[in-house]
């Protein structure tokens, strides 16, 4: 079997890339270790940057998104009883985010892939990459039918933080940068209306809390917890009590309690692997980087990666121009590090760190006070929250020259 681009991983990065390549007339095959139900059912992010929404609209994948997504023109920060609203629309000239769960995005991507007959191999075990240093790489994997070989021109590693692709970048050239946070997020989903019409990020003496939603009737709430805590330690009543305490009485008055039908604890870390390209292997999404969920950049970064990669691949296959592929890693990393900075800053502002001193706490209070009164500080937050534009492709010919 042969294709132009072998995509390892059927998460957001892999599926969006496959749709972008199809739109450009470029062949691809997606190889996924899990089943569709498993990939689609993972509970993940729910805040889409405006660039992500625009990309899905460009691909014609926004019918349900437009009908069911909740457009938010503002977000809110609360600390010690004080609340400040960040008016993103006013501060950025109309910017907004859309609340639409990753599960729904994946459903739309898979449904459209079936409609268009896009090849996706599920249940692929023992995936291995071969000859990525040359012009004719390949991917091998095992299914119920035996070992399969897929020849290709390019491999896109979109297999997430636990995938195998990043490990095919040789250790001699691979650099990793990591910050592991000393806490996690305990999150629940409940079929109850949200406490407020917009997200609220709250900082309390007991730790961080987030009031969010998936729909007008489904709420998503989080609280900061210890990394050694267990879900069993948090029965529903204890969670609701702690959430309301951290949100404060004004916000807690709007909380509707109900049984949690999903409950999980996620560790927090910042991670970047450089470079995002080696030979004919190109990494995208969590295969190359991870961010703490504060600020909701994970899935959005995956989409921005593959937008850049698809553009470079179109230059390569359609125009015989390799400059975009050569510049992909540097271009993608420029945006990745800005998102890492924002997620790190936002996490530091809103969470309580076990090792924090009185000085550190005073810095949090001062930062919040500055945000409350400074339009410039609010604008910086709003610009990052709705999503920074893609960085221009340095060193590539202009659009006119490539036409």
Q: Which is the catalytic residue, given 100, 141, 181, 201?
A: 201
Residue 62 · residue 105 · CB < 8 Å: no
Active site annotation includes 289: no
**Tokens 């091998």 -> residue:** 140
Beta strands in 10-95 (DSSP E): 28-31, 47-48, 70-72, 74-79, 82-87
Beta strands in 131-233 (DSSP E): 138-143, 146-151, 154-157, 175-190, 200-204, 207-215, 218-225
- CA triplet 108, 109, 110: central angle to 5 degrees? 95
CA–CA distances in Å: residue 107 to residues 45, 68, 101, 295, 383: 14, 13, 10, 23, 29
Active site annotation includes 328: no
Residue 193 · residue 216 · CB < 8 Å: yes
The total number of residues shown for the chain amounts to 403
Active site annotation includes 201: yes
DSSP assignment letter at 390? P
Q: Which is the catalytic residue, given 19, 293, 328, 351?
A: 293
Residues near 317 by Cβ (< 8 Å), separated by ≥ 6?
4, 24, 26, 153
Q: Which is the catalytic residue, given 100, 221, 222, 385?
A: 385
Rounded to whole angstroms, the Cα distance separating 242 from 246 reads: 6
DSSP assignment letter at 256? P
Q: How many CB atoms lie within 10 A of CB 150?
A: 22
Q: Which is the catalytic residue, given 222, 297, 328, 351?
A: 297
Active site annotation includes 297: yes
Rounded to whole angstroms, the Cα distance separating 72 from 38 reads: 29
Rounded to whole angstroms, the Cα distance separating 300 from 305 reads: 9
Active site annotation includes 385: yes
The tokens of 151 are what? 């020849």
Q: Is the peptide bond before 368 cis (omega within 30 degrees of 0)?
A: no
Q: Which is the catalytic residue, given 19, 72, 278, 351?
A: 72
Rounded to whole angstroms, the Cα distance separating 348 from 88 reads: 21
Known catalytic residues are: 72, 201, 293, 297, 385
């Amino acid at each position: 079997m042969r294709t132009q681009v072998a995509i390892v991983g059927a998460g957001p990065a892999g599926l969006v890339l496959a749709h972008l390549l199809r739109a450009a007339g470029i062949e691809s095959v997606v190889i996924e270790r899990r089943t569709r139900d498993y990939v689609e059912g993972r509970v993940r992010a729910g805040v889409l940057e405006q660039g992500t929404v625009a990309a899905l609209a460009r691909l014609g994948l926004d019918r349900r998104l437009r009908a069911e997504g909740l457009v938010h023109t503002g977000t809110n920060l609360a600390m010690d009883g004080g609340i400040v609203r960040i008016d993103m629309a006013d501060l950025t000239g109309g910017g907004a985010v859309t609340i639409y769960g990753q599960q729904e995005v994946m459903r739309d991507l898979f449904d459209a892939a079936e409609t268009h007959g896009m090849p996706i191999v599920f249940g692929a075990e023992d995936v291995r990459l071969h000859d990525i240093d040359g012009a004719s790489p390949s991917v091998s994997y095992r299914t119920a039918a035996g070992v399969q070989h897929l020849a290709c021109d390019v491999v896109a590693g979109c297999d997430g933080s636990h995938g195998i692709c990043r490990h095919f970048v040789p250790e001699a050239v691979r650099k990793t940068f990591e910050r592991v946070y000393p806490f996690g997020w305990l999150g629940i989903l409940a079929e109850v209306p949200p406490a407020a019409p917009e997200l609220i990020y709250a900082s309390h003496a007991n730790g961080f809390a987030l009031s969010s939603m998936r729909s007008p009737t489904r709420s998503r709430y989080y609280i900061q917890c210890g990394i050694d805590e267990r879900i069993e330690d948090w029965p529903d009543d204890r969670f609701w009590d702690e959430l309301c305490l951290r949100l404060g009485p004004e916000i807690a008055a709007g909380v509707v309690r109900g049984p949690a039908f999903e409950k999980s604890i996620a560790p927090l870390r910042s991670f970047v692997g450089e470079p995002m390209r080696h030979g004919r292997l190109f990494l995208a999404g969590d295969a190359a980087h991870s961010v703490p969920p504060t600020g909701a950049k994970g899935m959005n970064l995956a989409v921005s990666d593959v937008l850049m990669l698809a553009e470079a691949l179109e230059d390569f296959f359609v125009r015989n121009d390799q400059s975009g592929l050569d510049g992909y890693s540097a271009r993608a990393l420029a945006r990745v590090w800005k998102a890492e900075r924002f997620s790190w800053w936002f996490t530091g502002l809103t969470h309580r760190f076990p090792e924090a001193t009185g000085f550190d706490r005073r810095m949090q209070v001062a930062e919040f006070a500055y945000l409350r009164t400074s339009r410039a500080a609010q604008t910086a937050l709003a610009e990052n929250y709705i999503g920074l534009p893609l960085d221009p492709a340095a060193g590539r010919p202009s659009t006119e020259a490539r036409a």
